[in-house]
Structures are given as C-alpha cells and as structure tokens.
Amino acid sequence: MKALIKFLIVATFAVVIFFPQNQIGLVLYWSLFGVLGLLVVAFYFSSYWVSTDDVKAVRSGPVGFSLFVGKLPVITEDDLIRGRLVIDRTNLVLYQRTDGKERTKGHHCKEVWSLSVDALASIGTGAVLPARKGLILYLEDGGEVKFACRAAIKRKQDIIKALGWDDAPELSPGFGATVDVEGSATQRKSFSEALSAGSGDSSVSEDAPADAAPSTQAERNEKGSGKR
C-alpha cells in the first residue's frame, strides 16, 4: 500500500512539473495539487499511524487512555519516534507501527518504549521543540522525556486522571539541577572557594626547613643584619 502511494506521489508530481497548464486544462492542473496533498497525508498515515484497535491486538491488558505522539529521541539528530502512547496507573507504553516482514495479520504495531509510573515525579505541558508543543514527563532521577503532541495540552487533566493522580505533583525547587557524581555536589567546594582557601593558607608550616624564606619584611631585615 505504501509503495503504491509513493508511486502515485511521484507520478502526480511529474505531471505537475512537466505538463503545462494549456495541455491538461487549468482546472485539472490545479486539482492535481489537491490530489498531491491528499497522497502525502495518506503516506504519513500509512507510515506512522497506530490506532487503538492495533494496540488492543497486541496488548494483554486493557487500553484505557491513549494519545498519538512523537517521542523526542535521545540523539537529537534522529527522527521522532511516532506512535500511540498508552497511559494507565501502572505504566506508560509507546507502540510503534510495524512495517515490512514485521507487519503480520493482527500485529500492526509493537512496543518500543515503556516507563513505570513509580519512576515518574510529575508531568507538564509546553514547548518540546522550537515550533512544537507537547507532553513532558519529569522523572524521579531528574531526567525528562518529551513527546510532541498538541492534544496533550488540552487533555492534561485526562492524563493526570489516567495516572491515578488527583493533580500533578509539585516539583521541588531546583529539580534536576543537581548532578551527583562520586558524592553529593553540595558537599564540594566550588573552584573560587578552593582558590580562596589555597591563597589564604600561605604561612610556613612547622615542618618547613629553618632557612625557609621569611614571610614579612621585618623578618627579612632581621635575618640580613645577623649575617653582617
């Protein structure tokens, strides 16, 4: 099906480019642009769309609340992972459309990502890309998972209800800002503090040799007069 749509897109585009308006008629010529737009939409759906029925066929449990989303990848150069996000009180699971040999009768999608609700600190909505808005999951470890989906903004309360919450938990101040690497970052001195501490500790220690450089001008004068 997808291969046929791709062929029709190329063929329609070729007619628009290589055949002038006076040969195929003005009405037909401009109608081809509408046909081309419909073919592009059809190609999108045949490549990415996952319906609720598709999920029900592969999911063991019930399908309650769900949204069609585009998950932002870990590597920013990659494309969005588009599919249907199913949300319940236990897990959040993303199902992606299968293609080629993976696509068999009754198995039109597969699970590609999941998250336990226990690992979820809160949720929010807002900008996830420069020109796109969607759903933001705030994790207990300070990380974030983002989904491009405008419908999530309008249905935020439905998402909260599906998770079994009365309201989205408030995040503590500075959430996700502290990074713990080999100990707590708050227990370490900053670079400026360490530099100040090092410059302040300039006195000669008790274990220093007797002929160590005097620390004051008076000591240097006294030592110089004793040598005469």
Q: Dump pLDDT digits (tens) for 159-180.
A: 999 999 999 888 887 776 544 4
Shared domain check, 151 and 76: yes
Please check whether residue 16 lies inside any domain of the structure.
yes
Please, which pLDDT band fits residue 199 given cuts at 50, 70 and 90?
very low
Shared domain check, 138 and 56: yes
Shared domain check, 152 and 128: yes
- 60-83 burial string, b = 16+ CB within 10 Å, else e? eeebeebbbbbbbeeeeeeebbbb
Please check whether residue 224 lies inside any domain of the structure.
no
CATH number of the domain enclosing 127 = 2.30.29.30
Of the candidates 40, 45, 150, which has an alpha carbon nearest to the alpha carbon of residue 97?
45
Selected residue with higher pLDDT from 222 and 108: 108
User: For residue 220, how far is the Cα from the chain centroid?
Assistant: 65
Output the pLDDT for position 27. 87
Shared domain check, 81 and 118: yes
What would the mean pLDDT of 211-219 be, rounded to a whole number? 49
Output the pLDDT for position 219. 53
Shared domain check, 62 and 150: yes
Shared domain check, 57 and 39: no
Shared domain check, 116 and 39: no
**In this model, does residue 88 exceed pLDDT 90?**
yes
Please check whether residue 116 lies inside any domain of the structure.
yes
User: For residue 113, how many other CB atoms are within 10 A of its CB?
Assistant: 14
Output the pLDDT for position 36. 93
Shared domain check, 72 and 27: no
Please, which pLDDT band fits residue 181 given cuts at 50, 70 and 90?
very low
Output the pLDDT for position 138. 95
Shared domain check, 153 and 89: yes
Please check whether residue 123 lies inside any domain of the structure.
yes
Cβ–Cβ under 8 Å, residues 144 and 137: yes
Shared domain check, 108 and 66: yes
Please check whether residue 197 lies inside any domain of the structure.
no
Cβ–Cβ under 8 Å, residues 91 and 117: yes
Instruction: Please give the tally of structural domains in the chain.
Output: 2
Shared domain check, 157 and 136: yes
Shared domain check, 56 and 158: yes
Please check whether residue 6 lies inside any domain of the structure.
yes
Give the domain range for residue 40. 2-47
113 three-state secondary structure: strand
Q: Which of 53-67, 118-132, 147-161, 196-210 has the lowest mean pLDDT?
A: 196-210
